[in-house]
Structure 1
Amino acid sequence: MAYLFNAYPLGAPLMQVTPMIWFITIAVTILFFVYEFFAHVRKPHEPSIGESARWSAFYIGLALLFGVGIGMVSGWKFGGEYFAGYLTEKALSIDNLFVFLIVMAGFAVPKKYQQKVLMIGIIIALILRGGFIAIGAALIENFSWVFYIFGALLLVLAYKQAFGSHESNPADGKFMTLVRRVLPVTNEYHEDKLTVMQGGKRFVTPMLLTIIAIGFVDLIFAVDSIPAIYGLTNEAYIVFTANAFALMGLRQLFFLIGGLLERLVYLAQGLAVILGFIGVKLVFHALHVNELSFINGGEPLLWVPEVPIWLSLLFIAATIVVATVASLLKTRGDAKKNARGLVHGEPVITADAHDRVEDPEADEKATSTADISK
């Protein structure tokens, strides 16, 4: 029965991850985030491009070295699964950053306090994903049919990614409207405090509301990310470490590519393709290890192909590259069209990340929004 839950042929070796390795991995992950808080976040400031670039490069390099280590110690099959999972989770995390940007603009978080919001949001994301990883591992170990559910969920999420919109601001959603009704909220920030006393009564600040909104967003994204990576590997250790490394350095990456986020106009479509691909892969695997009595009499459909990990890794990497290059080419082309229109005194309608109309009034509104987010 081992192959039913590990997507490998019967008798194939599994990763040997002892409780001690788990303990060390989790402890080191916690230490990294504790260091991040005391070294960079505790004192409010806006990180420079140089600081963000150095730390982003450090965390990405560390993640790549860890993947090489897995490949050398446990075999390159597992190394390939880690790299495929890391790329997928990193791409989903960048999409997560885009929503963080919208939330913080909606709550007008001052630039120097955005680090704290991001740090808390990333920690919440890691905790939520850790819980989903444990639940997913338990489901896979006991119910092989869960692959059908994961596959169907990813196909639905892929559709929403492709045809949904980032226009809706979680800061103004129904959930936050309910929170505002329940909690007494001040109208202004009090530095980076979460609550303040006014007139003998305790009030929450917009900073706490922002963190609640980001925590809610994290919960939604955890539903995306965990089934996606379980479509690439059934090793809980790889799932956890790929998620942890994808979240490490995300704060610095936010400040490094903040201006680039809005130029990634095809990121959602690229993620939709990746999620759809993994969804189909999961459905194929579910058929390959089928135990449902109403499908083929409860017998596995062994003729259904299993997608090899090298193909998954190649497909995910290629999709990310194509989506990024296509996005940059499109936004550059739109900028040139807009410049030509301004030279000839003609309004130009272009489609960017938000399908806005490029005219002086829209530019003024965009500038105002940017100033608020700062």
Structure 2
Amino acid sequence: MDVHLYTWAITGAVLVAVLALDVFWIGRNVHEPSMKEAGTLVAVVVAAAVVFGLGVWATAGGRYAGEFFAGWLTEYSLSVDNLFIFLIIMGKLGVPRPLQQYALTVGIILALVFRAVFIAVGAAAISKFSWVFFIFGAFLVYTAGKLVLDYRSHGSEEDEPVADNALTRFVNRRFPSTHAFEGRALTVVREGRRHITPMLFVIIALGSTDLLFALDSIPAIYGLTEEPYLVFTANVFALMGLRQLYFLIGGLLQKLIYLSLGLSFILAFIGLKLIFHALHEYHWAGWAPFDGDIPIWLSLSVIVGTLAITTVASLAASSRNAGPE
């Protein structure tokens, strides 16, 4: 896929403009979005992603469009799982509902910056060293196994001190802080001395947590496409709708009880796909299906099918557990 520099420039300019408008709008309208507002914005972002994917199909062909859709769906489903952690962080730090939208927006901007760095590093490594696919694949298989073990041990992410990681503890030790939120302010001056507010802790917690999430998501999407432009745009569309999705399905998240198992299967599949691809690159996979180079239509079918089965099974099980009202 030949992506010209001006295409990257236009994409970056549009992204910056959308983020600037988003931050300006939130700054002027600090509030908790209604279900109608959140649903409308989620629909707009999803529609934009679909239109973009169709544009890729029209300009670059069905193969790259399939890679984009597979990558976007994978990143989006991983982002939904990440919302569990964001809900916990917001709850533990007692973020007022009207301020959560602002905190999520800043966290998403940080996530885009972090992931852009990971994408660039991953692209450089892949272009020079095919054996990197072995490492990416093994890491995803390990992550998938860890998700299953966490699920079986019933140790949910809610038991982890996600809002009290090493970075937040370091900041808390080194700088004086206030106990109450001061609107959207990150720092305030008290008695001639600058103090940091809980909002800064929230943003640090969200940003540093997403940095860990990127360790899973970036290798996963590189297992579906090696095109940095598609990797970047799939992440952008997945993250851009995350804030609205947070308010839209916050309650529904608790019902997706099998989501971790579904994601573990997807990550394991992509991990094995990466390992087979590495074997294919070294001509060691003549015994494997498709000569080790698993086609994108199969990857997309596995991802969509797994997400559909996981969602239906989760909602059915949650309905049975709830019982009659």
Q: TM-score range by the shorter chain?
A: over 0.9
**Where does residue 157 of structure 2 map in the other structure?**
166
Q: Are the equivalent residues in 2 in contact too, given 1:288–1:306 (CA < 8 A)?
A: yes
**Where does residue 21 of structure 2 map in the other structure?**
35
Following TM superposition, by how much is the alpha carbon of 1:315 offset from its aligned partner in structure 2, in angstroms? Answer: 0.4
Secondary structure of the residue aligned to 1:47 is coil
Task: Give unmatched runs, 5+ long, in structure 2.
Answer: 151-155
Query: Could you tell me which amino acid in structure 2 is paired with residue 38 of structure 1?
Result: F
CA offset digits 1:14-37 (Å, max 9, x no partner): x12100111111111111111111
Following TM superposition, by how much is the alpha carbon of 1:153 offset from its aligned partner in structure 2, in angstroms? Answer: 0.8
2:314 to 327, 330, 354: 327
**Where does residue 350 of structure 1 map in the other structure?**
none
Task: Give unmatched runs, 5+ long, in structure 1.
Answer: 1-14, 291-298, 340-374
Following TM superposition, by how much is the alpha carbon of 1:265 offset from its aligned partner in structure 2, in angstroms? Answer: 1.2
**Where does residue 283 of structure 1 map in the other structure?**
275
Secondary structure of the residue aligned to 1:152 is helix
Q: Are the equivalent residues in 1 in contact too, given 2:164–2:205 (CA < 8 A)?
A: no
Following TM superposition, by how much is the alpha carbon of 1:134 offset from its aligned partner in structure 2, in angstroms? Answer: 0.3
% identical equivalent positions? 50
Does residue 224 of structure 2 align to residue 237 of structure 1?
Answer: no
Q: Are the equivalent residues in 1 in contact too, given 2:26–2:102 (CA < 8 A)?
A: no
Aligned partners of 1:322 and 1:33: how far apart in 2?
Answer: 34
Following TM superposition, by how much is the alpha carbon of 1:41 offset from its aligned partner in structure 2, in angstroms? Answer: 4.6
Following TM superposition, by how much is the alpha carbon of 1:326 offset from its aligned partner in structure 2, in angstroms? Answer: 1.2
**Where does residue 198 of structure 1 map in the other structure?**
190
Query: Could you tell me which amino acid in structure 2 is paired with residue 230 of structure 1?
Result: Y
Query: Could you tell me which amino acid in structure 1 is paired with residue 89 of structure 2?
Result: V
Q: Are the equivalent residues in 2 in contact too, given 1:186–1:206 (CA < 8 A)?
A: yes
**Where does residue 106 of structure 2 map in the other structure?**
120
**Where does residue 293 of structure 2 map in the other structure?**
306
Following TM superposition, by how much is the alpha carbon of 1:208 offset from its aligned partner in structure 2, in angstroms? Answer: 0.4
Aligned partners of 1:300 and 1:335: how far apart in 2?
Answer: 51
What TM-score does the superposition give when structure 2 sets the normalisation length? 0.94
Aligned partners of 2:27 and 2:59: how far apart in 1?
Answer: 35
Aligned partners of 2:147 and 2:174: how far apart in 1?
Answer: 32
Query: Could you tell me which amino acid in structure 1 is paired with residue 157 of structure 2?
Result: H
Q: Are the equivalent residues in 1 in contact too, given 2:167–2:204 (CA < 8 A)?
A: no
Query: Could you tell me which amino acid in structure 1 is paired with residue 255 of structure 2?
Result: R
Secondary structure of the residue aligned to 1:84 is helix
**Where does residue 153 of structure 2 map in the other structure?**
none
Secondary structure of the residue aligned to 2:64 is helix
Following TM superposition, by how much is the alpha carbon of 1:232 offset from its aligned partner in structure 2, in angstroms? Answer: 0.3
Aligned partners of 2:41 and 2:132: how far apart in 1?
Answer: 38
Aligned partners of 2:144 and 2:27: how far apart in 1?
Answer: 35
Following TM superposition, by how much is the alpha carbon of 1:185 offset from its aligned partner in structure 2, in angstroms? Answer: 1.5
**Where does residue 336 of structure 1 map in the other structure?**
323
**Where does residue 248 of structure 2 map in the other structure?**
256
- Structure showing greater relative contact order (alpha-carbon pairs closer than 8 Å, 6 or more residues apart): 2
CA offset digits 1:300-328 (Å, max 9, x no partner): 43443221100100100111111111111
Secondary structure of the residue aligned to 1:262 is helix
Report which stretch shifted further, 265-274 or 142-151.
265-274
Aligned partners of 1:38 and 1:94: how far apart in 2?
Answer: 25
Q: Structure 1 residues 179, 163: CA separation in 2 closer, same or farther (over 3 Å shift)?
A: farther
Q: Are the equivalent residues in 2 in contact too, given 1:41–1:115 (CA < 8 A)?
A: no
Structure exhibiting the larger radius of gyration computed from Cα positions:
1
Secondary structure of the residue aligned to 1:188 is coil
**Where does residue 176 of structure 1 map in the other structure?**
168
Q: Are the equivalent residues in 2 in contact too, given 1:59–1:249 (CA < 8 A)?
A: yes
**Where does residue 6 of structure 1 map in the other structure?**
none
Matches within 5 A, 1:1-374: 15-164=1-150, 165-167=156-158, 168-290=160-282, 300-304=284-288, 305-336=292-323
Query: Could you tell me which amino acid in structure 2 is paired with residue 320 of structure 1?
Result: L
Q: Are the equivalent residues in 2 in contact too, given 1:154–1:278 (CA < 8 A)?
A: yes
Query: Could you tell me which amino acid in structure 2 is paired with residue 178 of structure 1?
Result: F
Following TM superposition, by how much is the alpha carbon of 1:332 offset from its aligned partner in structure 2, in angstroms? Answer: 1.1
